[in-house]
Structure 1
Amino acid sequence: MKDVEKRFNVRLKYNVDTVGKRLPHADFRIRPYSIEETLDNICKYFDFNWWKQSGNTYKIKPYEYMRRHTEDGQKMLTWLSSLYNNKEEWEARRDTLRREMRQRLQIDEYLDSCVKGKKAILSKIRKYDGYTVQNICIETLPGEHIFGSIYTPTSKGKHALIICPNGHFYDGRYRKDQQQRLGTLARMGAICVDFDLYAWGESEAEYPTHQTDRAHVIQAMNGLILLDWMIENRGKQIDMTRIGANGGSGGGTHTVLLTALDPRFTAAAPTVNLASHFDGGCPCESGKPIHLSAGGTCNPELLAMFAPNPVLVVSDDGDWTASVPELEYPYLQRIWGFYGKKDAVRNVHLPKERHDYGPNKRKANYEFFIDVFNLDRSKLDESKVTIEPKEMMMTNLKK
């Protein structure tokens, strides 16, 4: 490998143990015209993979089933696109995909096992400028709970409802930018509901670890249970034609999943997550083998199942979503085009930004929901949102 570094004038970093490993016919594996083909030939013998980083640096890592190179994503989308050339062919594929995906996720088995008729535990309502916040806790499976927050507009009438799954950003649903986004959407006229990841926040006490494929189905189940509860208990406040899903990173992955699972959603804004070459780096996003459904799929095809409803995909150059404008977005436009709704799928790409839920990403979300859900733009002011301490947002079930 030192010879490879010198020959190609690159730097190799390692996230694998190479001590004592020997490579047969090593010199013959070198391709003098391509560092990347050379690394392919070396890495595949040990079930390693390489990843290009900044400048001339490459990192050698263990094989990851959920992560591929951008070129692999392009090949996947090309293959998928060859399977359908019109709405009828696409919908036949979509129906097969939905059926197999539900089976592989095991979502119906979990939903059938849920506690029936259990009442939610609700905190006192906290009143702020144009919205309120209330903690919610629901027992789902025996001894297991959803812990979340409901942000409600103080304005009268029926409101949009947005389910907001969380990603792996530090501090989860308690963090400042999460409260800013949900509070602002509530001020503008949307009821927003978020909830802890599996084994994060308050639910950390109920599970041994987040790193399990069980998190994949539980988080999806929790989103659907909250949707059901809100409709059953707050239905008079909700406009059923305006049901949204919105989340970033792993929350964006679950935004896509929720739209594929439940036809009641009418708009979605997955943020800094979508790629054809990355299924999600945590078992809560890719632990169940849903991407093997219908002979093989990827997150853009799962999102395409939501066509022709309005969708916003937010991407940037600082993470795996850098390929969206040239790769995933044209694929989505083609599917929406089968319905004559090509303009209903949108992409806001932020080339100078990295993987976060910063102001420009939140602004893109606001503009989208203002448009598709007719929210009140005059209430778009994040400075009016009160940032609550974590302790205030917790149910403290064991007290």
Structure 2
Amino acid sequence: MIRLMLKYSFLILFSFFCSRLSSQTADDQFRKPLKEVISDIEQRFNVKIRYSEDLVKDRWITYAGWRFRPDLEKTLSNILSSQDITFTKEGEGKYKLQNYQYHLKTPEEGKQQLEYLWSRFNDVPSWETRKAELRDCMWKALKLSPLPPKTHSKPIITGKRTMNGYTIENVAIETLPGVYVSGSLYRPLKSKGKIPVILNPDGHFGDGRYRADCQYRCAMQARMGAIAFSYDLFAWGESALQFKSSDHRKSLAMTVQALNSIRILDWLLSFKEADPNRVAITGGSGGGSQTMLITALDDRIRLSVPVVMMSSYHSGGCPCESGMGVHLCGNGTNNVEIAAMAAPRPQLVISDGKDWTQQVPQVEFPYLKKVYDFYGKGSEVENVHLPKEGHDYGLSKRLAMYDFIARHFHLDIRKVQDKNGKIDESPVTIEKYPAMYVFGEKGEKLPANAVRDFTQLEKMFDK
């Protein structure tokens, strides 16, 4: 009887509680079109808000008026968070709306995450445990655990050219059945004994690996005495013969690019003159993302130079840099911690004053150096910051890279200096696109087994 009464009392209380909840839900929920709400914000706070019509079309805000606060940005957060829309300040009284940017935090949030990570590791054992956890998760996130079997085909090599102190060849490597990555192989014209190997992954700059700054840096690396290889992003350059340009912005592009780097390095280290103890990687922007990731994953990389990319609050704005969830590993990481996984191997971080690397000297670099200090190797990591420069792999950035690699790999930098001891890129020949193609100007030489459908690529990883 008592049990029955208790059960009956509970049902009465539960019904009363539910009725109270429902009574607090207004019939119309104070709904207003998002576009109208934005107009209200502009008038109330005397600001201008920029957005695309597609972003606000057919969107409504419940309890719109109740979300307003005396503070403008708090109001924007209250209203837009329910729509997965974010805002950025473009100037005094000017804001821009955009879809939620999963790869982007605020600079302050990035700093806070670094401070949290900083507090967790104080010596080599604790850091090595963290690094192992991250690396294991990263391989799995990329769907590269285990690695796909190697193909048995030989690289396709065409069009050898002899330049001033170096040679160039066009190369395509089959990294998955029917999936090719194309690149340019630069070698010193004369060399003795074992020589270094340098990977140069491409970034999101116009003209891809064909652009002048990429040709300059690879040719100069070869003229100093190294084997240099530059290669396309997935679905860019000659990879776009197989896949649509829109496929580049699919998450699996990140996996393919990582696998491309690994298989390219496998091939380069098969050269009898390649020195496995002197292997480097350097790239800018998206190539900088690849530089940090591959160095973190592959201990064969002995030196890295990520350019205009290391940031605590920006993980890479393209899914080919952040789409596979690598940055969710270890309950959350960022590009600074990923770059720190290179320790104690030599690393030069190049940053500038006009993108997300603008706070590297004050915020990100001290964290990076702390990890190197665990190993007593603080001098092995450097930062060249160019506060008046922007997002590129320009001359001053290349000069810093040449010097760093030459010092650590004992290359003869005199081979690229003029009579006054100044590094001189003028002997380098900048080629036009067709000279660098592996598969012909219209892709007419693409192998018969070449995959031409992204769904085929997806099926390889689904297996």
Which category describes the TM-score, using the shorter chain as reference length? over 0.9
Aligned to 1:134: 169
Aligned to 2:424: 381
Aligned positions of 1:328-339 closer than 5 A: 328-339=364-375
Aligned to 2:444: 398
Match among 224, 227, 231 for residue 265 of structure 2: 227
2:90 corresponds to 1:53: yes
Aligned positions of 1:356-371 closer than 5 A: 356-371=392-407
2:142 corresponds to 1:101: no
Kindly provide the amino acid, as one letter, of the partner of residue 89 in structure 1. S
Task: Give 1:31 deviation, angstroms.
Answer: 4.1
CA separation of 1:243 and 1:24: change in aligned 2, threshold 3 A = same
Task: Give 1:19 deviation, angstroms.
Answer: 4.4
CA distance in structure 1 between the partners assigned to 2:98 and 2:273 by the alignment: 50
* DSSP 3-state at the match of 1:270: strand
Aligned to 2:178: 143
Tell me how many residue pairs correspond in the alignment. Answer: 394
CA distance in structure 2 between the partners assigned to 1:392 and 1:170 by the alignment: 18
Q: Which has the larger radius of gyration?
A: 2
Contact 1:184/1:381, CA 8 A, preserved across alignment: no
Kindly provide the amino acid, as one letter, of the partner of residue 283 in structure 2. G
CA distance in structure 2 between the partners assigned to 1:54 and 1:164 by the alignment: 37
Kindly provide the amino acid, as one letter, of the partner of residue 258 in structure 1. I
Kindly provide the amino acid, as one letter, of the partner of residue 23 in structure 1. I
> What does the per-residue CA deviation read over 1:151-194, in whole Å, with 9 as the maximum and x for residues that have no partner?
11123222211111111101110111110111112111221111
Contact 2:232/2:238, CA 8 A, preserved across alignment: yes
Task: Give 1:226 deviation, angstroms.
Answer: 0.8
* DSSP 3-state at the match of 1:53: strand
Match among 210, 219, 235 for residue 199 of structure 1: 235
Kindly provide the amino acid, as one letter, of the partner of residue 258 in structure 2. A
Aligned to 2:206: 170
2:191 corresponds to 1:156: yes
CA distance in structure 2 between the partners assigned to 1:156 and 1:46 by the alignment: 60
Task: Give 1:42 deviation, angstroms.
Answer: 2.3
Higher relative contact order (CA 8 A, sep 6+): 1
Contact 1:166/1:247, CA 8 A, preserved across alignment: yes
CA distance in structure 2 between the partners assigned to 1:58 and 1:339 by the alignment: 45
Kindly provide the amino acid, as one letter, of the partner of residue 248 in structure 2. H
CA distance in structure 2 between the partners assigned to 1:382 and 1:186 by the alignment: 12
Aligned positions of 1:266-305 closer than 5 A: 266-305=302-341
> What does the per-residue CA deviation read over 1:276-327, in whole Å, with 9 as the maximum and x for residues that have no partner?
1111111111111111112111111111111011111111121111121222
Aligned to 1:350: 386
2:294 corresponds to 1:248: no
CA distance in structure 2 between the partners assigned to 1:30 and 1:354 by the alignment: 38
Contact 2:55/2:99, CA 8 A, preserved across alignment: no
CA RMSD, Structure 1 to Structure 2 (Å): 1.8
* DSSP 3-state at the match of 2:358: helix
Task: Give 1:53 deviation, angstroms.
Answer: 2.5
Match among 35, 38, 42 for residue 79 of structure 2: 42
* DSSP 3-state at the match of 2:95: strand
Between stretches 300-309 and 13-22, larger displacement belongs to: 13-22
CA distance in structure 2 between the partners assigned to 1:88 and 1:245 by the alignment: 27
> What does the per-residue CA deviation read over 1:330-369, in whole Å, with 9 as the maximum and x for residues that have no partner?
1101111111112221111111112112212212212221
Ranges in structure 2 where 5+ consecutive residues have no aligned partner:
1-37, 417-422, 446-463
TM-score (normalised: structure 2): 0.81
CA distance in structure 2 between the partners assigned to 1:46 and 1:282 by the alignment: 21
> What does the per-residue CA deviation read over 1:227-255, in whole Å, with 9 as the maximum and x for residues that have no partner?
110111x1x32222211010000000000
Contact 2:312/2:334, CA 8 A, preserved across alignment: yes
Aligned to 2:156: 121
Aligned to 2:111: 74
* DSSP 3-state at the match of 1:288: coil
CA distance in structure 1 between the partners assigned to 2:183 and 2:326 by the alignment: 26
Between stretches 3-12 and 276-285, larger displacement belongs to: 3-12
2:117 corresponds to 1:63: no
CA distance in structure 2 between the partners assigned to 1:66 and 1:311 by the alignment: 24
CA distance in structure 2 between the partners assigned to 1:86 and 1:30 by the alignment: 48
Task: Give 1:25 deviation, angstroms.
Answer: 4.5
CA distance in structure 2 between the partners assigned to 1:333 and 1:9 by the alignment: 45
Match among 30, 46, 50 for residue 13 of structure 1: 50
CA separation of 1:59 and 1:164: change in aligned 2, threshold 3 A = same
* DSSP 3-state at the match of 2:204: coil
Match among 306, 316, 323 for residue 359 of structure 2: 323
Contact 1:163/1:244, CA 8 A, preserved across alignment: yes
Task: Give 1:22 deviation, angstroms.
Answer: 4.2
Task: Give 1:121 deviation, angstroms.
Answer: 1.3
> What does the per-residue CA deviation read over 1:90-135, in whole Å, with 9 as the maximum and x for residues that have no partner?
11111111111101111234x32331x3111112421111111111
> What does the per-residue CA deviation read over 1:2-59, in whole Å, with 9 as the maximum and x for residues that have no partner?
4544555543221463345443454554443x43333222221222111223444321
